[in-house]
Amino acid sequence: MAASVSAQQPPAASAATPAIIDFAHCFKPEWPQLVGDVEMQTAATLAYQVGVDGKLLAARLLQSSGSTAFDQAALAAGRACRFQPAAVDGKPVAAWLQFRYVHTPTDLVSDPSLVREYLQARAAAEKGGAAEQLLLARLLEQGRGVAPNPDDALRWYRQAAQSGSAEAQLWLGNCYFNGVLLPKDKVEALRWYQAAADDGNAQAQNALGLMYQRGDGVPKDFDEAARMYLLAALQGYDVAQNNLGYMYWRGQGLEQNPAVAVEWYRKAATQGNAWAQQNLSVAYERGLGVAADRKQARHWLERAAAQGFTRAQVRLGDMLMEYVQSEADRELAVYWYRRAAEQGDLAGQISLAYCYETGHGVTRDFAQAAAWYSRAVGQTSSLTRSAPRLPGEDGRGIAGGPVQAVKPHTPGGVLQNVDSLRMLALAQYTENRGEQDAIAALGDYSRLSEVGELPIVERHIRSYQLPEVPQPRPPQPEQRWLEQVPAVASGRYGACI
């Protein structure tokens, strides 16, 4: 068995030097037996926030492997790694680092049958043919029957793309769009996406839709975005179905029609799309496009939350707290807040802290409340670069001292600390919503539609809103692997998918 990880710094305009994993000092987990019994590769996409001192501030699961045990093992492994902080002009700054854990239950390089497959694929590819060239590129990238060779894989992917392979064209478009294996170039990304889309590739059509919807590399054009989403959605691509539903929900490029939006959300949700499941839940709770039905709203939210989707986990916790019928509901809400908080979700951390502060669903514990508020405060790079200052001991004015300087050894001190941390965390949550969007943008997540995400404590400040969000592009695998082998991709179609 082999466990691997690849790493990539998500785009960040402020970081001149990315955070780096010290690959020589990473924990290699013993994967759960249920994973070892699986014959195919298993992978999870993760993100970690590295502080100015190289310490880990937050961990987040971006894309589940489908196994909770594997996901937790991968998160634990990453937490045990050493990190070098990102830097701007030579000064350390906090930054997010994204990478992908891949578990391979067998030796794919030396397996005789795979070696034979590779040799046959190379012989066929050298004779020409887009399908044969694409197969060889995948084998070289994934290290199946041959040592991983990203440079050679790239050459064959390009050859396959030029020979007319839509999947290879999509792969090149993703590489150029994300700056993986190739320099980031939105013009080239657009060219290859368009070529693949013209050949009917649904993922490329969806990628073009996102570019036009966001105005990312092209002029913003909702009409063209909706057209591309429709082409992909009609092929059954769940991501595009959700995105098309969002366009109908918002009235972007199409006449606003919540009922039609709900139907597209449902198509994607029944395929297991967590974003669509959450959006369908929103529709049922609001009674927009469908009759209001709280049970259905909870049902779809539970399905999304069970997949590790932190937004849905926080939303489910909020729903349980808002419509509480018993103490068991509060305890279950705390469970979901904790699931989200442990993945680094800011709203989850604030909500969990508030539960500890008030004793809702959990034994009242000011120390735990302060700890979770502190983690929420540490989510933003502006706060990790310099320690925040808190209101004075009398609750008025500004006192000299960082968070850690607030004396916690007396009951009054603890309460004062919790109150100050809560105010600071909420202020950061409200004022830095743009940065929260950027965190959600890991793996090229869309930043178009943050309209809510308010934890329960913020209901005291403004009216509660529910989010409706477009589906992001699937998180992109990265370039380097934990085992210090050349850049190799995993997943159905490789590193740039």
Q: Return the pLDDT at 403.
A: 31
Do the Cβ atoms of 177 and 443 come closer than 8 Å?
A: no
How far is 445 from 439, CA to CA, in rounded Å? 9
Cα(309)–Cα(35) distance, integer angstroms: 21
The maximal CA–CA distance of the chain, rounded, in angstroms, is 80
Tell me which fold the domain 308-379+403-443+455-470 belongs to: 1.25.40
Mean pLDDT across 30-51: 60
Residue 8 three-state SS: strand
Does domain 2-104 correspond to CATH entry 1.10.357?
Answer: no
Residue 204 DSSP SS3? helix
Three state DSSP letters for 234-264 = CCCCHHHHHHHHHHHHHCCCCCCCHHHHHHH
pLDDT at 242: 95
Q: What is the pLDDT of residues 434-458, one digit of tens each?
A: 433 322 322 222 222 222 333 444 4
Q: Give, in order, the Cα–Cα distances in Å from 301 to each of 220, 278, 308, 454, 471.
A: 31, 5, 11, 16, 15
Can you give the pLDDT at residue 28? 54
Q: Does residue 297 register a pLDDT over 80?
A: yes
pLDDT beyond 60 at 44 = yes
The CATH code of domain 112-271 reads 1.25.40.10
Q: Hey, do 112-271 and 308-379+403-443+455-470 end up sharing a CATH topology, with the first three levels equal?
A: yes
Q: Please report which residue ranges of 251-380 form alpha helices under DSSP H.
A: 258-269, 274-286, 294-306, 310-322, 327-342, 346-358, 366-377
Tokens of 441: 């943008």
pLDDT at 12 over 50: no
Residue matched to tokens 């589906």: 471
Among the listed residues 270, 343, 355, the one whose alpha carbon sits nearest the alpha carbon of residue 312: 343
**CA-angle at 351, arms to 349 and 356, nearest 5°:** 95
The radius of gyration computed from the CA coordinates of the chain, to the nearest angstrom, equals: 24
pLDDT band at 29 (very low <50, low <70, confident <90, very high): low
pLDDT of residue 489: 26
- In this prediction, residue 413 has a pLDDT band, given cuts at 50, 70 and 90, of very low
Report pLDDT digits (tens) over 207-252: 999 999 999 999 999 999 999 999 999 999 999 999 999 999 999 9
**What does the pLDDT average to over 379-392?**
34
Domain boundaries, the chain: 2-104, 112-271, 308-379+403-443+455-470
Non-local CB neighbours of 2 within 8 Å, separated by 6+ positions: 103, 104, 107, 483
Token digits for 291? Answer: 């009759």
> Given the DSSP bridges, would you call strands 95-104 and 42-50 parallel, antiparallel or unpaired?
antiparallel
- pLDDT recorded at residue 434: 42
Whether the per-residue pLDDT at 484 is higher than 90: the answer is: no
Provide the pLDDT for residue 250: 94
Q: Give mean pLDDT, residues 328-347.
A: 91
Supply the pLDDT for residue 241. Answer: 96
pLDDT tens figures, 119-176: 999 999 999 899 999 999 988 887 888 888 889 999 999 999 999 999 999 999 999 9
φ, ψ of residue 189 to 5 degrees: the values are -60, -45
Residue 11 has pLDDT above 80, yes or no: no
Chain segment 351-383, per-residue pLDDT in tens: 999 999 999 999 999 899 988 988 888 764 333
pLDDT of residue 337: 95
Comparing 350 with 408, the larger pLDDT belongs to 350
Percent of the chain whose predicted confidence (pLDDT) is above 70: 65
List Cα–Cα distances, 77 to 170, 178, 234, 405, 443, in angstroms. 32, 25, 40, 32, 20
pLDDT band at 431 (very low <50, low <70, confident <90, very high): low
pTM strictly above 0.85:
no
Q: Which of 13-22, 134-143, 268-277, 423-432 has the lowest mean pLDDT?
A: 13-22
Contacts of 105 (CB under 8 A, 6+ apart): 1, 35, 36, 37, 38, 39, 40, 41
pLDDT at 194: 98
Measure the CA–CA gap between 92 and 460, rounded to whole angstroms: 36
Average model confidence (pLDDT) for the chain?
A: 73
Binned at pLDDT 50, 70 and 90, residue 465 comes out as very low
Separation in Å, CA 268 to CA 203, 246, 452: 14, 12, 22
Helix axes of 202-214 and 186-198: crossing angle, nearest 10 degrees: 140
pLDDT of residue 377: 80
Our CA angle for 311, 317, 323, nearest 5°, is: 130
Residue 54 has pLDDT above 70, yes or no: yes
- Contact indicator for 416, 395 with CB cutoff of 8 Å: yes
